[in-house]
Amino acid sequence: MKLFDPTSKPVERAIKLAPRPASPRGLRLGLVENTKFNASPILEKLAERLARRHQMTVTVRNRKRSASHEVDADGIKALRAQADLVISGIGD
Amino acid sequence: MSEIDEATDPAALIEAYYDAGWTDGLPVVPPSDASIAAMLAAAGLEGHEELGAITGRNAVVVAEKAAINAVMAGCRPEYMPVVVAAVKSLCAPAFAYHGPASSTGGSAMALVVNGPIARRLGINSGNNAFGQGHRPNATIGRAVRLIMMNVMNTRPGLLDRATLGNPGKYSFCFAEHEEDHPWEPLHVSRGLRREDSAVTLIASNSLYQVYNHLAAAPEPLLSCFADALGNVGTPNLLGFNETLIVFAGEHAEVLQKAGWRRRDVQRFLIEHTRRSVADYKRGARLPGEVAPADETTWRYRFERPEDILIAFAGGRAGSWSACLPGWGTKWTRSVTTRIDVPSAVSQGGNA
């Protein structure tokens, strides 16, 4: 008799990582808000601190359709083009 | 086939599936080459065929893995087309799998089966429709959950973060009682033909029964549903909700005798399922002190008639029906998928 493996591993995808910034100073910041109750206040507070400490500027604010959905293609495009660093928060 | 080991004792084999972490906590039926092949044949599938994918997880469901899990769940081969349709519903973009599958809310994946296949397979739509004792009900829902765990990587404590979960997470499958249905069946209300077979998937946070023994007209009866669905502790106060309501026995008769149709029930519930802002503030579901205007400022639970799904099931006797509140239309939507049965199988009548 045999054991039959019922599991599947995630399909591997090649993902090219963006180059790591040499310094946090002056980076363009993207915020991804997932619509949960406290997501936006947390992200905005973080952005304020990062602006104060490292002179970062929020250049993109993405609001997802819901926490259940991925960032859509247009959102990804904007984040790639306009942000050096992206923060995504869960809130609640 | 994914052969990884050998064993000779059936009990040891069952234990081996436990040891590998592949079960839902109940013993599984150890698959064989023959049982997997029969499962695939009954759905007209080759093992390598892709049934769907969860893009955010890079998870792809291939037929062979679905068949292995269906055997493990105890399905007969002829149940496989229902399992396949349910998997396609899980993978539908509108269902947005990640949220309802992983949330702390711990949704059960409730499956309503309609059409000729429900009768042919003997999926229970009568007494104890949500309960134990019927193999297709028990094993089809179980197969779907095993596929979620084993193929879609939705394991408790990892990508299944349910705070409590609910017993429907083991299995939740029933058929609609179509024989003396007062209206068109659920799948027809969602755009399919009466002669089609279909499965409707809704992520349901909970199941609660609604009792009313005295109501002889729809309005008082449905006010109990409005109250149940509008309780202060339910999520999604902003109104983007979906629910499945299952009318049984005497409640179905009340609606039928009054000549109420699906739209009448939906409109009544949209209008009456509401709470005041004051109620929500008193329950700390909204922040702030109660202002006088809050007493007459209403939050409605439902936006559109089609967000209230209605099915008929259960025994003829008794004053019980049920609400299965969904997980919110912003996050996920119920999905109805037609069940495809290969003509050779459907004509063979092997159910």
B218-229 and B262-272 helices cross at what angle (nearest 10)? Answer: 50
Give B-chain residues touching A8 at CB under 8 angstroms.
59-62, 65, 150-151, 153
Contacts with A3 from chain B: Cβ below 8 Å:
3-7, 13, 16-17, 20, 30
% of chain B exceeding 90 in pLDDT: 85
Q: Is A15 on the interface with B (CB under 8 A)?
A: no
Task: Give the angle B149-B150-B154 at the CA atoms, nearest 5°.
Answer: 30
In the numeric block, which tokens belong to residue A8? 């599947």
DSSP code per residue over B29-93: PPP-HHHHHHHHHHTT--TT-EEEEEGGGTEEEEHHHHHHHHHHHT--GGGHHHHHHHHHHHHSG
Contact at CB, A1 and B7, closer than 8 angstroms:
yes
- β-strand partners of B335: B201
Report the candidate in A46, A53, A48, A61 with the shortest Cα–Cα distance to residue A26: A53
Distance, in angstroms, between B314 CA and closest chain A CA? Answer: 33
CB B88 within 8 A of CB B141: no
Distance, in Å, from the CA atom of B124 to the CA atom of B81, rounded to the nearest integer, reads 17
User: Quick one: average pLDDT of B246-261?
Assistant: 95
B211 band by pLDDT with thresholds 50, 70 and 90: very high
Percent of chain B that is helix, strand, coil (3-state, to 5): 40, 20, 45
- Paired with B324 in beta bridges are B244
Q: Kindly provide the ipTM of the predicted complex, given to two decimals.
A: 0.90
Q: Report the alpha-carbon distance of residue A48 to residue B203 in Å, rounded.
A: 38
DSSP string, chain A: -EEE----PPPP---PPPPPPS--TT-EEEEEE---TTHHHHHHHHHHHHHHHH--EEEEEEE-S-TTSPPPHHHHHHHHHH-SEEEEE---
pLDDT at B180 over 80: no
pLDDT (average), residues B318-327:
94
Q: Note the pTM of the prediction, 2 decimals.
A: 0.92
pLDDT in tens, B111-142: 999 999 999 999 999 999 999 999 999 999 99
Cα→Cα distances B206→B108, B125, B146, B326, Å: 7, 19, 20, 8
| Residue B2 confidence (pLDDT) | 47
Give mean pLDDT, residues B84-99. Answer: 96
Give the pLDDT score at B73.
98
CB–CB contact B2 A66 (8 Å):
no
C-alpha distances in Å from residue B313, one per residue of A36, B59, B127: 36, 34, 8
Q: State the pLDDT at residue B310.
A: 98
pLDDT digits (tens, 9 = 90+) for B14-40: 999 999 999 999 999 999 999 999 999
Work out the average pLDDT over A39-52. 94
Take residue B33 and report the two structure tokens written for it: 């080459």
Q: Do residues B7 and A1 touch, judged by C-beta distance below 8 A?
A: yes
pLDDT, greater one: B56 or B321: B321
Nearest to B28 by CA among B71, B66, B68, B72: B72
Helix or strand run (H / E) with residue B139: helix B135-150
Strand, helix or coil for residue B317 = coil
Task: Look at B236 and B217; give whichever has higher pLDDT.
Answer: B217
Q: Determine which of A29-38, A47-56, B214-223, B285-294 has the lowest per-residue pLDDT on average.
A: A29-38
Q: Which of B13, B103, B331 sits opposite A1 (nearest CB)?
A: B13
User: Is the CB of residue B176 less than 8 Å from the CB of residue B311?
Assistant: yes
Q: Which residue of A has its CA nearest to B69?
A: A6
Round the average pLDDT of chain B to a whole number and report it.
Answer: 93
Query: Using one digit for the tens of pLDDT, what is the confidence trace for B144-172?
Result: 999 999 999 999 999 999 999 999 999 99
User: Which of the four pLDDT bands, split at 50, 70 and 90, describes residue B55?
Assistant: confident
CA B1 – CA B70 distance, rounded (Å): 15
Which of A3, A7, A67 is closest, CB to CB, to B150?
Answer: A7
Q: CB–CB of A6 and B22 under 8 A?
A: yes
